[in-house]
Chain A
Amino acid sequence: MAALRVIKRDEPWKGGALVIVLGALAFSLAAAILMLAAQGKSPLLGAQVLWQGTFGHLFALEDALRKAVPIFLCSLGVAVAFRMQVWNIGAEGQFALGAIAATWAALTFPGLPKILLLSFMFLAALAAGGFWAFIPAWLKLRFKVNEIITTLMLNYIAILLLDYLVFGVWKDPSSFGFPMTPEFGPNAILGPIGGTRLHWGLAVCAVAGVGFWAFFRFTILGYELKAGGEGARVARYAGLRYGFLVAFVMIASGALAGLAGCVETSASLGRLQPSIMTGYGYTAIVVAWLARLEPLPIALASFLLALLRVGVENLQLEMQIPAAYGSIMEGLILLTVLAGQFFQTYRLEWRRGE
């Protein structure tokens, strides 16, 4: 009797990753576009509009690069923690704390020269994000409280804290009572690169990405952390060391998410308001994992995801397709890529007999 058997590959299918991603993309896009037909819209036109909205224009690529910046930084942060199997779901809240700290710095010291003020804002954001992540780390080490729940709860608290500040003490007196801080002075703004629409947040990303890679490649601590699962279990027996490692990755993780908050506040908005929270922290988890926690794939995945979202907006604009459609597409793509990754490690074979 022939049967379909699952065989583990002797070594992972090189180049398979690309085939899988493209295959999954193709499948999901096809399914999503066919859904358009079910709603009475032309699938062909949909495909064309989606293309136009993503690769069809330089603007779309620029927009995607801008949108990718906070996703990338948060993803790096998430990756640091996940590499040690510390499940930091709190990037959203750490992002908020970073934004809050950067705002504090910008509003309190508007007169400082630009380089100084921006550096100070970065430092404040790194510290605040790191601190917000340290709390669940400490709870985990001291009381053995699961970090998934504490980081998640702290997300909600962070957002409410932001609301409290922006509705209260930091409210711009000239904003007619609307919840927003005063606009940052010019020295607190991370400006555009030359005449493009891109901003220097990209440089921050580059530095962070290289730093991430270099840290894990060249430092002993990085090596320890990269040893990941096994290393953590072994390290657990060393007691003190494990605690230090957990605290370290969480602080680093939170710091990176905080940095993302600072960059977004300074470069994109120029002031703090509640609408800065759009879920980057959660998107980052998806991106980081899909990219196998590696910096260059994280960069690519952040960009592609941002590009998809920008393209879906074009579908809305040109074809009046509801915004929810983009979520469906994203969900489908993610699930099919995940399922497809199976084939990197396993292959199917028809076997006769037993």
Chain B
Amino acid sequence: MQRMCRMLALCLAAVFIFGLAACDQKPEQKPAAQSAQPAAETKAAPAPAAEKKLKIGFVYVSPVGDAGYSYAHHMGYKAVAALPGVEASYVESVAEGADSERVITNMARKDFDLIFSTSFGFMDPSLKVAKEFPNVKIMHCSGFKTAPNMSNYFGRMYQARYLTGMIAGLMTKKNIIGYVAAFPIPEVIRGINAFTLGARSVNPQAQVRVVWTKTWYDPALEKDAAVSLLDVGADVLTQHQDSPAPQEAAQQRGAYCIGYNSDMSSFAPKANLTSAVWNWAPFYVKTVEEVRNGVWKGGQAIWEGMDKGVVDIAPYGAAVPEDVKAKVEAKRAELKAGKDEIFVGPIKDQSGKERIAAGQKAPDADLLGMTWFVEGIVGTTE
């Protein structure tokens, strides 16, 4: 064993020295980053280098194939990758923490111009890299820290949730609506709250029951959670999870369901009413153009809503009757016009205490840090 180690160490040393010597070489031809088609050519067709291509990087916390959160961002990536003069690439399944710091740093080292780090847990690493590489621009999703070359951004998904809540409230007969949720973090809680406010705005008897799965992605467990809600009488389900399993559970039991992240109707064609969806493509394209034209500003906290098209609801399912559609469309038009009065008081929490005073609109900071449930929700926030 000792000899093996010595020999291996010698080999490593030799390789290390060789590697250092080869250090400055860049890989010859980079493939065009059209990653969607695996059969695509791998030789780049380099544009005549009249202008340098913008290098855009995306970092995802989960695999893109999950039809969920990262998938939604990935649709934005595809739009960006299709832009002229842009070289886009992505890394998926990056664990938050040390791994993400390495990945983002590597992108910075490779002279990426703009990096989208799409998960909350990438916040501290993104900030570190922003400080170390002042020429890189970083857009961090769902966080709260900024730097001169780093902005954070998110979408007002709660607006879409409010609309889906209205639909649920109008479609439920037993007045019990089930919510399969992953982790009790503010964005999830906020979504549940908006959903409940929406449901009770059209149906004051409606009650929302929450089950926490403590996982973003475990289809079988999510299905179990959905079934447990169906068993206590829920006849409409929705979710803050990345797999469509709860949709399937609802359809099997003849209940209705509302999806999340992307249009989930294909998983439950009879039961699905709509989904609360992200639409990152326009926002990402806009950001890239800002960088290209030199007008991008760091240090911003960007939180765009339905009026800018970042969030919306998917097309209505066949089961949604016209009068329900009409009510929801009316509200949707309001939101699209920029009128957001979802978190305007009086709003009480589960214990009956008033949290938002009458006529007051909750400031963004309160929304971003929301950790309490509104009246009408059965469940804990832990």
Of all chain B residues, the one with the shortest Cβ separation from A267 is B98
- Name A18's contact: one of B7, B99, B214, B365 (CB within 8 Å): B7
Q: How far is the CB of B44 from chain A (nearest CB, A)?
A: 10
Stretch at the interface among B89-97, B172-180, B240-248, B283-291: B89-97
B28 on interface, CB distance cutoff 8 Å: yes
Contact B186 A177 (CB under 8 A): yes
Verify B98–A297 contact, CB threshold 8 A.
no
Among A159-192, those with CB < 8 Å from B are: 160, 163-164, 167-168, 176-179
Given contact pairs A268-B97, A317-B57, A15 touches B106 in the complex (Cβ within 8 A): no
Among A58, A66, A297, A314, contact of B5 (Cβ-Cβ < 8 Å): A297
Q: How long is the Cα–Cα vector from A39 to B3 in the complex, in angstroms?
A: 40
- Counting contact residues on chain B (CB < 8 A from A), the size range is 35 or more
Contact across chains for B103 and A319 when beta carbons are under 8 A apart:
no
Q: Inside 8 A of B91's CB, which chain A residues have their CB?
A: 313, 316-317, 323
Residue B16 lies at the interface, judged by CB distance under 8 Å to chain A = yes
Contact between chains at A317 and B107 (CB < 8 Å): yes
Tell me, yes or no, whether A203 is within 8 Å of chain B by CB: no
Q: Which of B35-43, B193-201, B222-230 contacts A (4 or more CB under 8 A)?
A: B35-43
Stretch at the interface among B320-328, B334-342, B367-375: B367-375
Chain B residue, CB-CB nearest to A177: B186
Partner-binding segment picked from A72-80, A87-95, A134-142, A272-280: A272-280
A317-B63 contact given A42-B31, A300-B9, CB 8 Å threshold: no
Question: Residue of A at shortest CB range from B123?
Answer: A178
A324 near B: Cβ within 8 Å? yes
Interface centre among A160, A292, A316 (most CB of B within 10 A): A316
Q: Which of B19, B33, B368 contacts A55 (CB 8 A)?
A: B19
Is A114's beta carbon under 8 Å from chain B? no
CA distance A63 to B102 in the complex (A): 7
A308, CB-defined interface residue at 8 Å: no
Query: CA separation between A56 and B103, bound complex, in Å?
Result: 16
Evaluate contact between A41 and B42: CB separation under 8 angstroms.
yes
Residue in contact with A320 in the complex, picked from B5, B33, B96, CB distance below 8 Å: B33
Whether A310 is near chain B, meaning CB under 8 Å from some CB there, is yes
- Residues of chain A within 8 A (CB-CB) of B183 are 167, 179
**A153 interface residue per 8 A CB criterion:** no
Q: Does B22 contact A (CB under 8 A)?
A: yes
On whether A45 and B97 interact (CB within 8 A), knowing A15-B4, A63-B102, the answer reads no
A40 x B15 contact (CB < 8 A) = no
Q: Does residue B317 face the partner (Cβ distance < 8 Å to A)?
A: no
Q: How far is the CB of A307 from chain B (nearest CB, A)?
A: 10
Flag whether B124 is at the interface (Cβ < 8 A): yes
Q: How far is the CB of A305 from chain B (nearest CB, A)?
A: 14
Which of A18, A56, A276 is the one whose CB lies under 8 Å from B4? A18
Q: Is A296's CB within 8 Å of the partner chain B?
A: yes
Tell me, rounded to whole Å, the shortest Cβ–Cβ distance linking B322 to chain A. Answer: 39
Q: Chain A's nearest CB lies how many Å from the CB of B38?
A: 5
Set B15, B19, B33: member contacting A57, Cβ < 8 A: B19
Q: Which residues in B have their C-beta under 8 angstroms from that of A278?
A: 95, 97, 99
Q: How far is the CA of A18 from the CA of B8 in the complex (A)?
A: 7
Interface flags, B11-49, vs A, CB<8A=1, else 0: 110011011101101011111010100111011000000
B231: chain A residues at CB < 8 Å are none
Binding site for A on B (CB under 8 A): 1-5, 7-9, 11-12, 15-16, 18-20, 22-23, 25, 27-31, 33, 35, 38-40, 42-43, 57, 63, 65, 89-99, 101-103, 105-107, 109-110, 120-121, 124, 144, 183-186, 189, 214, 365, 368-371, 382
- Interface pairs (9), CB distance under 8 Å: A15-B4, A18-B4, A21-B8, A275-B96, A297-B4, A313-B102, A313-B106, A317-B89, A317-B106
Give the interface of A toward B (CB within 8 A): 14-15, 17-18, 21, 39-42, 45, 48-49, 52, 55-59, 61, 63, 66-67, 160, 163-164, 167-168, 176-179, 264, 268-271, 273, 275-276, 278, 292, 294, 296-297, 300, 310, 313-314, 316-320, 322-324
